[in-house]
Amino acid sequence: MSILFSDEYPVVVLAFRVRNRGSTWLDGNPTGRIYVEKRDMEQQVRDLIEEGRLTLDPEGRRRPVLVSVKGSGGFYAAILEDPESVEEEAQTRHPGETRPVQQCMQPVTSYDEERNVIRLMEENRFYDFVELLEAYKPMIGEDPTGFDGRSIHPVTTRTLVTEMKAYSKGRRPRRDRETRTVVLLDRGVSMAEPWSLWEQYPKIMVARFLANAVAASHSNAAVYSFGESLRMERSPDDVEPLGEETRLDAALRHVSLVEPERLVMLTDGRPVYIDGVDTDEDCEKAVVLLEALCRSGVQMLIFTLGEDREMERFYGQLTQTSEALVVPLKTGGDVVRMMCRIAEWF
């Protein structure tokens, strides 16, 4: 099977979904998805069916019926139906009986999860992103009270009902969402470059989205941006990548005065960058400041966007620090790991 693509249209993924729990074959080979040009999707599927290439059996005797094509961006799904199964079901159904709802379980791949996160990011639905994180949280967590989850939790003068909240994955201390949290966004010019994971999105767009999610899940959060200086922002959406210098060392000196309990940073490139100046020593000082904050009890989450080796070298020194979690976002497949690690940190 060979498919020729032109340069006029972008290439997208087209998946096949059969309502009646069937499988699809293309040119006699079992096929769940293919690459097609992004043009008149329904007509392309109809052509495959009429030409006898898309079938419901390897022999090519059973042809599906196209119901609809759904999707957006780079992923689409053709909803198909087996006419023979529909006819057999109609013959065995009693008069007045409604058609049962068929629920077909499909495996969720890393690609599907990635597309879901992309869609939330495109629509800036960071509240839904926070809710999605609940699905990635560990099922069993540490309970400082020793509550086994089965018996009735004791309510005494030292355990007030107003200080407890119930969550789908277990009790969570109320204090976690009220900790003093500082969000640091890099506003250097490199943040305007395309993010290597999804090329059409600039790094600053991804950083704003994640910063909004953090701010939405922590009521006592303050948002700052750093370039040549530290600046407090009303919203992550106000941050523009216009800074020609990056001075994380100076920003951290001011942040330490706030005495945060949690620090979330989204950055790209070296901790300190000044055009034409060797800043290795200043970068090391910035890393030392980050380590000092961790030793003082600050929990730290750092997102590194991009593939800058100097960035990896400096921030990689924090991987041995238990209070610091460095999450690189640069290649395909990082999204699922990102969701798991953010859920654990949240």
The CATH number of residue 213's host domain is 3.40.50.410
Strand order in the sheet with 11-18: 33-37, 11-18, 75-81, 65-72
pLDDT score recorded for residue 274: 87
pLDDT score recorded for residue 45: 92
Residues 285, 137 share a domain: yes
pLDDT in tens, 274-303: 888 888 899 999 999 998 888 888 888 888
CB 328 within 8 A of CB 309: no
- Of 49, 68, 100, at which residue does a domain stop? 100
Instruction: Please give the model's pTM, rounded to 2 decimal places.
Output: 0.59
Q: Could you give the CA distance from residue 257 to residue 162 in angstroms, rounded to a whole number? A: 31
The secondary element (H helix, E strand) that includes residue 287 is: helix 280-295
Place of tokens 């199964």: 85
Residues 84, 180 share a domain: no
- Of 100, 124, 156, at which residue does a domain stop? 100
Bridge partners of 36?
12
Domain count within the chain: 2
User: 34 in a domain, yes or no?
Assistant: yes
User: 6 in a domain, yes or no?
Assistant: no
Residues 88, 18 share a domain: yes
pLDDT in tens, 186-217: 998 888 888 765 557 788 888 898 898 888 88
User: 150 in a domain, yes or no?
Assistant: no
Query: What does each C-alpha distance from 266 to 47, 102, 315 come to in angstroms?
Result: 47, 44, 12
Vertex 114: Cα angle to 264 and 267 (nearest 5): 25
Q: Could you give the CA distance from residue 125 to residue 112 in angstroms, rounded to a whole number? A: 17
Residues 305, 220 share a domain: yes
Residues 319, 202 share a domain: yes
pLDDT in tens, 223-243: 999 988 899 988 898 999 888
Q: Could you give the CA distance from residue 117 to residue 24 in angstroms, rounded to a whole number? A: 27
The secondary element (H helix, E strand) that includes residue 334 is: helix 334-345
Residues 234, 139 share a domain: yes
Q: Could you give the CA distance from residue 173 to residue 143 in angstroms, rounded to a whole number? A: 9
- Of 39, 71, 100, at which residue does a domain stop? 100
Domain that holds residue 230: 115-143+175-345
Residues 127, 81 share a domain: no
Residues 185, 212 share a domain: yes
The secondary element (H helix, E strand) that includes residue 36 is: strand 33-37
> What one-character DSSP code corresponds to residue 138?
-
User: 31 in a domain, yes or no?
Assistant: yes
Residues 194, 92 share a domain: no
Residues 126, 95 share a domain: no
pLDDT score recorded for residue 224: 92
Residues 119, 229 share a domain: yes
User: 149 in a domain, yes or no?
Assistant: no
Give the pair of three-digit tokens for residue 108: 């969720």
Residues 179-192 as b/e (b if ≥16 CB within 10 A, e otherwise) read eebbbbbbbbbbbe
Alpha-carbon torsion (313, 317, 322, 324), positive or negative: negative
In the chain, % of residues over pLDDT 70? 73
Residue type, position 289, single letter: L
CB 12 within 8 A of CB 36: yes
Q: Could you give the CA distance from residue 67 to residue 341 in angstroms, rounded to a whole number? A: 39
Q: Could you give the CA distance from residue 205 to residue 222 in angstroms, rounded to a whole number? A: 19
Residues 133, 68 share a domain: no
User: 2 in a domain, yes or no?
Assistant: no
